[in-house]
């Protein structure tokens, strides 16, 4: 993609009402734009990142043996009445009326929907275990939407649900999902910690949250450096000593990027999702559910990985692989021709290149490159061409290397 063609206008000024760094940088680099409070537009650069995060999550879910589905945003009130969550879920549901004055909910989660689907299909122990997931828009009627993509009223989320015929089988799968979540966050360039959490109005027996330690986060956790114990303050209260090893606990602000729940039989019991065991006895299905907010994850990456100049994407979720800059490339001169040639060659090899072909100063181009945060920057100028070279710089390092143009496709970035 040539930058002159890209639908993105970077801004020098920090926009108003941006409280956190991710909101500031993502807006200034034109990845996202607020439409109104808690509702965001994803522009081409932001959408590319979102799609890459989605790809990682989908791959990891399929690796767990889960099957992808797509459930409706508009949800039947009767299902929510069955579980008594129509009035009680927190944050509350967005509700609307159709032209017959029938009430409908905009889904904030899908336990009712999925349990309804499964109760009509699973008959015996032989139908279990079963793992189903979707990646879809969700809605929350937040009192106060702030912090850019960290707390929104409409957001993209992956939700996975699992169905088992024994607690042991559920715990086994629950632990596999934990490992899978660590892989997802690692591939996004993050180091998450997993802590005990309060299940809230999703409910169930126990839950764990995946947290990124960050001042921008609204959650507070207590962690033990000695044994690795961690818990959300909501869950354990303001205790001073580790319940496992009695060491002093440390309090940290953090951003929640994933939450997994051992639901037990909470939904299957109320909604009658049952199976026949090996002895022909009817039992409620044991369930788990596992969420990751993709749009929040994108903001969380920026909260963790940035510097004074802008964003620093990790390789797998960067909107492009390489930011290619020509300096002094006028109409049809050697610099322009060489850069065009390199751009085409890299593209042929499947490398996604953002080529800054604009008629702007080197300074302006570097500022935009640093703000957008693509991990590799390649510069071609008269000076580098004298040595048949390009200049390669990683976004997270100061060091600049000269690499021969004809070696660049073999170069290990």
Nearest approach, Cβ of 164 to Zn ion (angstroms)? 30
Contact 263, 115 (CB under 8 A): no
What would you report as the CA-atom Rg of the chain, rounded to the nearest whole angstrom? Answer: 25
When binding is defined by CB under 5 A, the residue of 224, 255, 311, 378 that contacts Zn ion is: 224
Please say whether the dihedral angle defined by the alpha carbons of residues 65, 285, 175 and 292, taken in this order, is positive or negative: positive
List the one residue out of 260, 251, 247, 246 whose CA is nearest residue 231: 251
Toward Zn ion, which CB reaches closer, 81 or 245? 245
Q: List binders of Zn ion among 233-262 (CB under 5 A).
A: 242, 244-245, 247
Least CB distance from residue 5 to Zn ion, whole Å? Answer: 55
CB closer to Zn ion out of 242 and 371: 242
For Zn ion, the closer CB: 246 or 341: 246
For 289, the token pair is 């559910």
Give the pair of three-digit tokens for residue 44: 């081409």
- Nearest 5°: the CA angle 157, 25, 43 is 55
Does residue 264 contact residue 174 with C-beta atoms inside 8 Å? no
Is residue 221 within the footprint of Zn ion (CB under 5 A)?
A: no
SS3 57: helix
Instruction: Kindly tell me which of 118 and 197 has the beta carbon lying closer to Zn ion.
Output: 197
* Cα(367)–Cα(394) distance, integer angstroms: 14
CB of 211 to Zn ion, least distance (A): 17
CB 48 within 8 A of CB 75: no
Q: Shortest gap between Cβ of 227 and Zn ion (angstroms)?
A: 3
Stretch that binds Zn ion, among 18-26, 218-226, 309-317, 367-375 (CB under 5 A): 218-226
Shortest separation between residue 248's beta carbon and Zn ion, angstroms: 9
Tokens of 321: 């692989």
Measured from the CB atom, is 242 or 405 closer to Zn ion?
242
Show the CA angle centred on residue 164, arms to residues 162 and 169, nearest 5°. Answer: 100
Reduced to 3 DSSP states, what percent helix, strand and coil does the chain have, rounded to the nearest 5? 30, 30, 40
We find the least distance from the C-beta atom of residue 243 to Zn ion, in angstroms, to be 8
Stretch that binds Zn ion, among 217-225, 284-292, 333-341, 351-359 (CB under 5 A): 217-225
Footprint of Zn ion on residues 128-187 (CB under 5 A)? none
Task: Supply the minimum distance, in Å, between the C-beta of residue 236 and Zn ion.
Answer: 12
- Closest to Zn ion by CB, 246 vs 404, is 246
Strands 219-223 and 154-164: unpaired
For the record, the structure tokens of 272 come out as: 């009658």
Which residues 6+ apart lie within 8 Å of 361 measured at CB?
none
Write down the least CB distance from residue 360 to Zn ion, Å.
Answer: 55
Q: Is 155 left (phi over 0), alpha (psi -120 to 50) or beta?
A: beta
> Among the candidate windows 47-55, 215-223, 228-236, 275-283, which touches Zn ion by CB under 5 A?
228-236
Q: Which is nearer to Zn ion, 29 or 222 (CB)?
A: 222
CB closer to Zn ion out of 213 and 351: 213
239 vs 245, beta carbon nearer Zn ion: 245
Give me 250's structure tokens.
Answer: 């440390």
User: Contacting Zn ion (CB under 5 A), which of 96, 227, 400, 402?
Assistant: 227
DSSP reduced 3-state for 203: coil
Shortest spacing between CB 208 and Zn ion, in angstroms:
16
The site that binds Zn ion (CB under 5 A) totals a number of residues, namely: 8
Among 163, 173, 229, 290, binds Zn ion (CB under 5 A): 229
Residues that bind Zn ion (CB under 5 A): 224, 226-227, 229, 242, 244-245, 247
């Amino acid at each position: 993609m040539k930058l002159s063609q890209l639908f993105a206008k970077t801004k020098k000024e920090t926009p108003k009402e941006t409280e956190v760094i991710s909101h500031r940088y993502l807006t200034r680099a034109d990845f996202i734009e607020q439409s109104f409070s808690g509702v965001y537009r994803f522009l081409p650069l932001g959408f590319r990142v979102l799609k890459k995060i989605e790809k990682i999550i989908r791959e990891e879910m399929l690796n767990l043996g889960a099957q992808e589905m797509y459930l409706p945003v508009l949800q039947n009130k009767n299902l929510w009445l069955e579980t008594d969550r129509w009035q009680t879920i927190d944050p509350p549901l967005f509700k609307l009326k159709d032209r017959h004055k029938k009430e409908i909910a905009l889904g904030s989660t899908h336990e009712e929907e999925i349990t309804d689907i499964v109760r009509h299909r699973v008959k015996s122990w032989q139908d279990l275990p079963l793992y189903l997931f979707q990646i879809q828009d969700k809605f929350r009627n937040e009192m106060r939407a702030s912090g850019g993509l960290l707390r929104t009223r409409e957001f993209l989320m992956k939700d996975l649900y699992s169905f088992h015929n024994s607690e042991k089988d559920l715990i086994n799968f629950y632990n596999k999902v934990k490992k899978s979540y660590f892989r997802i966050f690692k591939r996004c360039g993050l180091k998450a910690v997993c802590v005990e959490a309060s299940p809230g109005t999703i409910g169930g027996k126990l839950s764990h949250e995946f947290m990124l330690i960050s001042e921008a986060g609204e959650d507070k956790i207590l962690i033990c450096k000695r044994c690795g114990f961690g818990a959300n303050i909501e869950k354990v209260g303001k205790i001073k000593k580790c319940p496992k090893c009695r060491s002093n606990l440390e309090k940290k602000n953090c951003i929640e990027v994933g939450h997994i729940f051992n639901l037990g039989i909470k939904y299957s019991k109320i909604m009658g999702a049952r199976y026949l065991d090996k002895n022909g006895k009817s039992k409620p299905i044991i369930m788990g559910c596992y969420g990751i907010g993709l749009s929040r994850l994108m903001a969380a990456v920026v909260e963790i990985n940035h510097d004074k100049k802008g964003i620093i994407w990790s390789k797998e979720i960067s909107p492009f692989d390489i930011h290619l800059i020509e300096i002094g490339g006028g109409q049809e001169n050697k610099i322009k021709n060489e850069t065009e040639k390199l751009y085409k060659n890299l593209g042929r090899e499947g490398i996604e290149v953002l080529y800054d072909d604009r008629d702007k100063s080197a300074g302006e181009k570097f500022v935009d490159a640093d703000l957008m945060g693509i991990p590799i920057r390649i510069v071609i100028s008269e000076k580098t061409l004298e040595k048949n070279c390009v200049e390669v710089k990683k976004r997270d390092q100061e060091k600049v290397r000269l690499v021969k143009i004809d070696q660049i496709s073999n170069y290990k970035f």
